[in-house]
Amino acid sequence: MRDDDCVSTSPASRGRIGRPPVTTRAQILAAARRIIDRDGWEKLTVRRLAAELGIGGTTLYHHVRDREDLLIQLLNEHAKRTLSVELPAEPRDRIVAAAVAIHDSLAAWPWAAEVLTSDGFLGRLGEPAVSMVEAIVAGAVECGCTVEQGVDIFRNIWYYTAGEILVRAHSGQRRADRPRVAVGDTFFRGVDLSRLPRLAAIGDRWPTLAARDIYAQGLRAFVNGLLDQARSAAR
Amino acid sequence: MRDDDCVSTSPASRGRIGRPPVTTRAQILAAARRIIDRDGWEKLTVRRLAAELGIGGTTLYHHVRDREDLLIQLLNEHAKRTLSVELPAEPRDRIVAAAVAIHDSLAAWPWAAEVLTSDGFLGRLGEPAVSMVEAIVAGAVECGCTVEQGVDIFRNIWYYTAGEILVRAHSGQRRADRPRVAVGDTFFRGVDLSRLPRLAAIGDRWPTLAARDIYAQGLRAFVNGLLDQARSAAR
DNA sequence: GCTAGTTTCGGAACATGTTCGAAAACTCTG
DNA sequence: CAGAGTTTTCGAACATGTTCCGAAACTAGC
């Protein structure tokens, strides 16, 4: 994907025809960052961004296809700054490290859960993220998988990762007025323990792992299971 | 959670005080179903639902906390009709069957991806769904896990399931105008294969499994990995 | 320099979810 | 029966993302 593919109608800057643009994509992203840094990320709306740029709200839609499109551009910019890891040499560890890196970068991104639901999300990811995807598939191949199996493994890892990001994003305290149960764990918040005897039996002995480590540990179990399954399917 | 907990201010019908309600929750759900069956589920908006009931749009908000609240009530109604399975006796199979049942019910629900992101989602699920959760935790315990490990296993399964539902919901063709790659698989649609040599190497030999079977197969690998991990952690 | 084509710009408008404030209808207490 | 308290009802309004349609500004070709 080229850099300006997300923009709906913008041609290349060279050899333009028609009215010259007052607004460039770099300016838009810079203005968005300014709003986020100054007023907080919840304040980033289409109208406010247009106002920050000094243009009409409608005009923005000639540089950005969507609100979603804008967010994905911001995400790619964010990934460029945060998504860089030394990947281990051992393939199984490398798979885990790459997936955790993707996860951590997304987890630190305010709109992750929102943007995760966008159409063709994987295809719109920018450079560092795509290399991580490739690293996962390649790692699976080095573990003895076929490429098809490697792709399948990535797909499953991606489901798991997306789900964790999704649940994590919304296990925060968005609405303060909902009934919740004090179990020391936000995941099961609001669950009526009287109908879940097994859950109730835990009492306060909830896992002390941080959410990120729960993810990483589950991921490792998943990778092991997937590689085992691929190996036994090969026979 | 009691049955009317989702409704913000409605007291029990018995011993009411104040103006008698013209609208009951049963009527609201029935009207919603009428709209869905007649006009399609995309047409279900707050205003249209109010119009269908013959009341003002604002009035609806005294019977329903949120749009989200309405959707979750519809989901619970949907689950009551669709979510009923004979669970196998063998615990590992039972875990998989329960998870697949939850998955299938959600996958058939138009707002699944939207509602999945709601705060405290698990705690707002109705009866048949909660039993499935319990079945998963109980199955893990029968496999030799502690309750803590069982809960953790459910949590991981839930991440995976939520992610699959999420990606599945948006790998449909919502926007027709996006560039896409004909790979015979909607998951990687739009991915620039030139930057993913391993993916490109597959060519047209994409897995022929239906999306549901891909989920079930990955789930089985995951459950095996999780149970193995729990067993080795016990030592 | 004029026309045609192309691109950017933006005000008005629409549908959406949601909130505000006031009025109406009812029960209970005195 | 009168007032207090409570609940339901709803029109008006707000912020949001987004589209319509026309105007403005520029290049290319004649």
> Which residue of B119, B181, B224 is in closest CB contact with A225?
B224
Residues of chain A numbered 87-146 and touching chain B (CB < 8 Å): 113, 116-124, 130, 133-134, 137-138, 141
Separation in Å: C29 C1' and B16 CA: 16
What is Dmax (Cα atoms) for chain B? 70
pLDDT in tens, chain B (235 residues): 333 333 433 444 456 777 777 778 899 999 999 999 999 999 999 999 999 999 988 999 999 999 999 999 999 999 999 998 899 999 999 999 999 999 999 999 999 999 988 877 888 888 889 899 999 999 999 999 988 899 889 999 999 999 999 888 776 544 443 333 333 455 565 556 566 666 655 544 555 567 889 999 999 999 999 999 999 987 6
What's the full length of chain B, in residues? 235
Strand C–CB B170 distance below 7 A: no
- What ranges do the domains of chain A cover? 1-65, 84-170+205-234
B8 touches strand C (CB under 7 A): no
| Residues 153-172 in A contacting B (C-alpha not used; CB under 8 Å) | 155-156, 158-164, 166-167, 169-172
A207 CB near a chain B CB, below 8 Å? yes
Q: What is the CATH number of domain A84-170+205-234?
A: 1.10.357.10
- State the pLDDT at residue A194: 60
Chain B residue closest in CA terms to A191 = B123
Measured between alpha carbons, how far is residue A36 from residues A25, A58, A80, A152, B193 in Å? 17, 21, 17, 37, 34
ipTM of the complex: 0.85
CA A139 to chain centre: 21
Fold match, B1-65 / B84-170+205-234: no
What A167-173 contacts at long range (C-beta under 8 Å, 24+ apart), as own/partner pairs, is A167/B158, A167/B159, A167/B162, A168/A107, A168/A211, A169/A112, A169/A113, A169/B117, A170/A113, A170/B117, A170/B118, A170/B119, A170/B121, A171/B119, A172/B119
Contact criterion met (CB < 8 Å) for A199 and B151: yes
Distance from CA of B134 to the nearest CA of A (A): 6
Q: Does B193 touch chain A (CB under 8 A)?
A: no
Judged by CB atoms closer than 8 Å, whether chains meet at B119 and A162 is answered as: no
CATH architecture for the domain at B1-65: Orthogonal Bundle (1.10)
